[in-house]
Amino acid sequence: MNEHRDPYSDSFLLETDAEIIEPQPSKWRAFFREMAETLLLAVVLFVIINSLTARVRVDGPSMEPSYYHNNRVVVLKVAYLFGDIQRGDVIVFPAPPNPEEDYIKRVIGLPGDEVMVADGKVYVNGQDLDEPYINAPPINSMRAVTVPEGMVFVMGDNRNVSSDSRSWGPLPIDDIIGKAVFVYWPLDRIGLVQHFELAGGG
């Protein structure tokens, strides 16, 4: 330790080799701040994802062989803000027989289309559809129905066990929750939802 006299004072100043230690922020304080920031980011992302998408469980066999009971599907709620509904789209909506449940079906007819089922085939505007995704040809026939404006005609891919527009009529477009885009469970079926382009004239 050295000492010297301050030329402007009668007091002595002490010099040491030790550095002056600046106060450091608490490590725990920094840890909890990072945790809070991470949780806030997670909440924000959760809210954003939930506002844009929904997760739906397939209930029953009506969409086999495309989708099976207990498959989990991601639904894009905003899909039709950026594009029009197309024949062949797979959509999710509250079940008309019981709005507490959600149905997943395929769009067959658009507003103004004439839909008919005869001889094991589905016809849209007089043209029979090429449908590689169905489980089996429909057994029952259906007279021609014109889809009203603001509505779509939907069917399940497993035609002979599906509750769809053939029994409860066309679906209001405003009731559509969104477009199915991704299967995330079970892992052996994970992948994008396939949307077929269906010709229908008109």
CA angle, 55 then 56 then 57, to 5°: 130
Choose, from 9, 26, 51, 62, the residue flagged as catalytic: 62
Nearest to 180 by CA among 48, 53, 68: 53
Q: Is 77 annotated as catalytic?
A: no
d(CA 68, CA 48) in angstroms, rounded, equals 28
Q: Name, in order, each residue with C-beta under 8 angstroms of 25's C-beta and a sequence gap of 6 or more.
A: none
Q: SS3 of 165, please?
A: helix
Q: Which of 105, 162, 165, 179 does the annotation list as catalytic?
A: 105
Element (H, E) at 40: helix 27-52
Q: Which two three-digit tokens encode residue 157?
A: 């891919």
Query: How far is residue 128's CA from residue 121's CA, in Å, rounded to a whole number?
Result: 6
Q: Are 175 and 101 a contacting pair, CB within 8 Å?
A: no
Active site residues: 62, 105
